[in-house]
A and B are shown apart, each in its own frame.
Chain A
């Protein structure tokens, strides 16, 4: 086979392809090439300069240094007159995209897998401490509310003109405390805003909003820990903290009873009794998420079942779509067939309709009491309500969505098989099946087998098919999280959004890492096998 196929192909190509390549090289070598190069490099530099500005503005200095260094390196490689940079010129664009779109997300996912990133653990620790302080403020018993007007005294210091909403008495509040103000000194609409105060100039409009940070942290101490604090621009409320942060012990202390909430090392302040303060913060937790996957029965138990179904689903989908695609391709590959283009166009339709639409349509068609499928066929199959039939439905719909892809791929591959080979096999006395088995299929697989592996990996993680058709359902009789058609990735999604207190990204990333290794292993073996196939040719 090798002996005969090898010479035939270059004959085809020699006719025009090298000419085009040479033309292209010639075209981009002269001034045009230089202009294209300068334009692209300039655009890149401009983008980098802009990004560097933003990074510097936000104080992200490590990223800044990396950005500047890598941009400098790229510019050097493309502009310096060195012959040793030539291979790098070809490698760099691919490498940059690989880093940006493949390696960076993987690194991020892996790094999140080792944290407690989840509901209640989003902020950094200093942010969490500030938020707990703010959240701990509450009105004391009989706490007062005031109508407020920020003003400046004769020295230009910020003060608050206050009217007690209950008693109607006026005060002037400073950081030292509140002093009564004679009602005759203040002009105000009754029950409404304060419009003037004798001896003070009210701060209004944009000047007031410019003082925001000063105003929101302004406190007018009253009794004990309590203080009047502005809320908005015309309201102030008496509030007191219920927790105090003790820097030295890195702990919050509840003021009423002295209960300590020390850092529990897992991203929360937690008392000895197990009460956690909210919010916590994002922190590293080592292998805790991975440990949970293998020890927590609610997560571990469905894992094996889901894994087996994922494998079955991906395998069956690839086999059925490939078989059907190949069959149709061979059928329509006949030369001189009428309406060939029309048939081909019709067959590609399932692929051309966005899957999001067609899957939802299938969901309606398969409804077992009101759907078209059962009504027309006079069946009463519980397509989506029975765990096993739901699996059949999933494979059926994936089949419908997937076969046009292999139809197109096979059609292309078939046309690249030299007709002489098949002719020769026929002459040697091979029947149609033998010719297909021994000539067409092996040659076809050379081109298609990497795509089979890729299709398997894609279906292994085909979230949208599952999620849109069955949502992973129907529920298993006894399993809590995974439904009967959940594959690993949809199961991961459910773990991430529907357990405990809501989102658990750390756990979901840990599962993703495990899935990554599974898929990498399967794809690796697959590609190695298909590579071996090619070597044998």
Chain B
């Protein structure tokens, strides 16, 4: 008798506690709210700026925003797997995600007004455009970034031609043991992004364009005729030590900051580091090797996800991204958040940081990183070709290394 009443009490208590827990938890359950709440995924660097701009927008429109911070790369990866209920309406992203996200059907096309579009350099819009037949705009560009040649003006003259750069750099390198000629980061796995100015200067390109003007993944220019003709210059640079694959990002940065390198190929993300060191410097485009040595251009911006429509936030999200965030005022705040040059021309004219402006100039003629998903197959092999041909003693001939890379990339794209 005693035992069975104990059982009964056990059952009742269990159920009672569970019920209480449920009552407490119930309000926290996801449910559709009457108020429009736009969810934005952003990275840490831009969190404050996004919160401010989106907050201003929200209060002027009478809606609310929820800013969720994620690691930059996670924004792209998590969007693929997130459940619709937790999915964002708006994301911050890099332009080279466009192809993959659009091919997955996760972002929706935007149609900003013509008057707005004319405030943007065409490459920033092209960078966010994707389509196998007709291209559409999938993102609002906000900030642009590119690498340039950072020159320590106390240690070397700012070169205007490549031969000047070559002789200045080698002269500096031979002055003292431990000095680097050009500090450009590679490391054992290579870095095709930082090597791109040299690649383009020798006539290399990644993907050609088809008749419709879209990137054509079957036309791979990693070992095109012009480039192969000039490739012997890489062998020369390797022999004289102008470029050294063994320099990785840490080595390059330390060498420049310690005055062991007069030239550093890097981007605006290092402006503050150089300033802190008290180095007087100037940023220019890498002088033309055989052709203009243009850098890759990266454009960052905002995109509207397919989930916005499911959440009933389509109009709000499009209003925020395609209209509000493209205004000069918003662009200035968003680009300044992580020290980048704004995409909007009017906002760009207001940039006062001289170094940021110099990086802007170094972008001239630059090529947006290909935004088609096939680019995933390129990075590793292109980087490896540079490493193989510039690793000092025992290096592969550049023509051979790049031809191998081109063949591998073609095989991977299939």
B327 in contact (CB, < 8 A): no
- Which of B47-55, B310-318, B353-361 forms contacts with chain A? B310-318
B269 in contact (CB, < 8 A): no
CB neighbours (8 Å) of A37 from chain B are 10
A45 in contact (CB, < 8 A): yes
Instruction: Provide the bound-state CA to CA distance between A127 and B104, in Å.
Output: 11
Instruction: Provide the bound-state CA to CA distance between A480 and B115, in Å.
Output: 47
Flag if B314 contacts A278 (CB, 8 Å). no
Chain A proximity mask over B26-58: 1 for CB below 8 Å, otherwise 0: 100111001110000000000000000000000
Chain B proximity mask over A356-400: 1 for CB below 8 Å, otherwise 0: 000000001001111000000000001011100010000000000
CB neighbours (8 Å) of A246 from chain B are none
Contacting residue for B412 out of A54, A165, A369, A481, CB 8 A: A481
A523 in contact (CB, < 8 A): no
CB neighbours (8 Å) of B245 from chain A are 385
B360 to chain A, nearest CB (A): 29
Contacting residue for B80 out of A122, A128, A135, CB 8 A: A122
Q: Knowing A38-B14, A501-B100 are in contact, say whether A234-B319 is a contact too (CB < 8 A).
A: yes
Flag if B17 contacts A212 (CB, 8 Å). no
B46 to chain A, nearest CB (A): 22
A78 to chain B, nearest CB (A): 8
Chain B proximity mask over A328-370: 1 for CB below 8 Å, otherwise 0: 0000000000000000000000000000000000001001111
Flag if B115 contacts A165 (CB, 8 Å). yes
Flag if A499 contacts B373 (CB, 8 Å). no
Flag if B103 contacts A278 (CB, 8 Å). yes
Contacting residue for B62 out of A206, A242, A370, A472, CB 8 A: A206
Flag if B18 contacts A46 (CB, 8 Å). yes
Instruction: Provide the bound-state CA to CA distance between A474 and B248, in Å.
Output: 14
Flag if A49 contacts B21 (CB, 8 Å). yes
Flag if B312 contacts A213 (CB, 8 Å). yes
Flag if B387 contacts A135 (CB, 8 Å). no
CB neighbours (8 Å) of B329 from chain A are none
Output the nearest chain A residue to B396 by Cβ-Cβ distance: A477
Flag if B319 contacts A233 (CB, 8 Å). yes
Contacting residue for A231 out of B21, B36, B63, B318, CB 8 A: B318
Output the nearest chain B residue to A494 by Cβ-Cβ distance: B380
Chain B proximity mask over A97-132: 1 for CB below 8 Å, otherwise 0: 000000000000000000000011011000110011
Flag if B246 contacts A367 (CB, 8 Å). yes
Output the nearest chain B residue to A485 by Cβ-Cβ distance: B188
Instruction: Provide the bound-state CA to CA distance between A400 and B115, in Å.
Output: 62
Flag if A53 contacts B17 (CB, 8 Å). no
Output the nearest chain A residue to B217 by Cβ-Cβ distance: A501
Flag if B62 contacts A38 (CB, 8 Å). no
A137 in contact (CB, < 8 A): yes
A458 in contact (CB, < 8 A): no
Chain A proximity mask over B373-414: 1 for CB below 8 Å, otherwise 0: 110110111001001100110101000000010011101111
Instruction: Provide the bound-state CA to CA distance between A38 and B13, in Å.
Output: 7
CB neighbours (8 Å) of A131 from chain B are 105, 306
Flag if B10 contacts A34 (CB, 8 Å). yes
B250 to chain A, nearest CB (A): 6
- Which of B1-9, B146-154, B289-297 forms contacts with chain A? B1-9
Flag if B102 contacts A210 (CB, 8 Å). no
A440 to chain B, nearest CB (A): 42
Flag if B106 contacts A122 (CB, 8 Å). yes
Flag if B105 contacts A122 (CB, 8 Å). yes
CB neighbours (8 Å) of B209 from chain A are none
Flag if B412 contacts A46 (CB, 8 Å). no
CB neighbours (8 Å) of A212 from chain B are 36, 312-316
Instruction: Provide the bound-state CA to CA distance between A477 and B408, in Å.
Output: 11
Flag if A231 contacts B379 (CB, 8 Å). no
Q: Knowing A79-B14, A275-B132 are in contact, say whether A475-B85 is a contact too (CB < 8 A).
A: no
Output the nearest chain B residue to A42 by Cβ-Cβ distance: B17
Contacting residue for A209 out of B36, B114, B309, CB 8 A: B36
Contacting residue for B411 out of A41, A234, A480, CB 8 A: A480
B351 in contact (CB, < 8 A): no
Interface of chain A, main secondary structure: mixed
A50 in contact (CB, < 8 A): yes
Q: Knowing A205-B61, A205-B62, A239-B111 are in contact, say whether A38-B10 is a contact too (CB < 8 A).
A: yes
Flag if B134 contacts A502 (CB, 8 Å). no
Tally of A interface residues using CB under 8 Å: 90
CB neighbours (8 Å) of B111 from chain A are 139, 145, 231, 235, 237, 239
Flag if A42 contacts B323 (CB, 8 Å). no
Q: Knowing A54-B29, A119-B104 are in contact, say whether A364-B322 is a contact too (CB < 8 A).
A: no
Flag if B376 contacts A497 (CB, 8 Å). yes
Flag if A138 contacts B134 (CB, 8 Å). yes
B108 in contact (CB, < 8 A): yes
CB neighbours (8 Å) of A479 from chain B are 408
Flag if B61 contacts A480 (CB, 8 Å). no
A265 to chain B, nearest CB (A): 19
Flag if A49 contacts B22 (CB, 8 Å). yes
Chain B proximity mask over A279-301: 1 for CB below 8 Å, otherwise 0: 10000000000000000011000
CB neighbours (8 Å) of A137 from chain B are 109
Flag if B314 contacts A279 (CB, 8 Å). no
Flag if B380 contacts A498 (CB, 8 Å). yes
Instruction: Provide the bound-state CA to CA distance between A132 and B133, in Å.
Output: 13
Flag if B246 contacts A279 (CB, 8 Å). no
**Which residue among B4, B14, B109 has the maximum number of chain A CB atoms within 10 Å of its CB?**
B14
Output the nearest chain B residue to A278 by Cβ-Cβ distance: B103
Instruction: Provide the bound-state CA to CA distance between A370 and B113, in Å.
Output: 54
Instruction: Provide the bound-state CA to CA distance between A498 and B373, in Å.
Output: 10
B212 in contact (CB, < 8 A): no
Flag if A57 contacts B14 (CB, 8 Å). no
A188 to chain B, nearest CB (A): 15
B residues 212-268 in Cβ contact with A at 8 Å: 244-248, 250-251
B240 to chain A, nearest CB (A): 15
B345 in contact (CB, < 8 A): no
B170 in contact (CB, < 8 A): no
Instruction: Provide the bound-state CA to CA distance between A407 and B113, in Å.
Output: 69
Flag if B391 contacts A385 (CB, 8 Å). yes
B275 to chain A, nearest CB (A): 25
Contacting residue for B103 out of A79, A127, A232, A279, CB 8 A: A279
Flag if A210 contacts B34 (CB, 8 Å). yes
Q: Knowing A42-B17, A279-B105 are in contact, say whether A475-B388 is a contact too (CB < 8 A).
A: yes
Output the nearest chain B residue to A35 by Cβ-Cβ distance: B13
A residues 235-281 in Cβ contact with B at 8 Å: 235, 237, 239, 242, 275-276, 278-279
B274 in contact (CB, < 8 A): no
A500 in contact (CB, < 8 A): yes
Flag if A501 contacts B29 (CB, 8 Å). no
Instruction: Provide the bound-state CA to CA distance between A242 and B133, in Å.
Output: 11
Q: Knowing A34-B10, A54-B30, A135-B109 are in contact, say whether A210-B36 is a contact too (CB < 8 A).
A: yes
B271 in contact (CB, < 8 A): no
Flag if B188 contacts A499 (CB, 8 Å). no
A residues 38-83 in Cβ contact with B at 8 Å: 38-39, 41-43, 45-50, 53-54, 57-58, 75, 79-81
Flag if A122 contacts B104 (CB, 8 Å). yes
Contacting residue for A471 out of B189, B314, B318, B409, CB 8 A: B189
CB neighbours (8 Å) of A475 from chain B are 380-381, 384, 387-388
B residues 300-334 in Cβ contact with A at 8 Å: 306, 309, 312-316, 318-319, 322-323
Flag if A499 contacts B384 (CB, 8 Å). no
Flag if A279 contacts B104 (CB, 8 Å). yes
B136 in contact (CB, < 8 A): yes
B180 to chain A, nearest CB (A): 9
Flag if A502 contacts B376 (CB, 8 Å). yes
Q: Assuming A42-B15, A298-B414, what are 6 further A-B pairs, CB within 8 angstroms?
A: A47-B21, A205-B61, A232-B322, A382-B394, A477-B396, A500-B376
Chain A to chain B contacts (Cβ below 8 Å), 18 pairs: A38-B13, A41-B14, A49-B18, A50-B21, A57-B29, A145-B113, A209-B316, A212-B314, A216-B309, A278-B103, A370-B247, A384-B188, A474-B188, A478-B404, A499-B412, A500-B414, A501-B376, A502-B373
A-B residue pairs, 8 tightest by C-beta = A46-B21, A42-B17, A279-B105, A45-B18, A480-B408, A232-B319, A475-B384, A131-B105
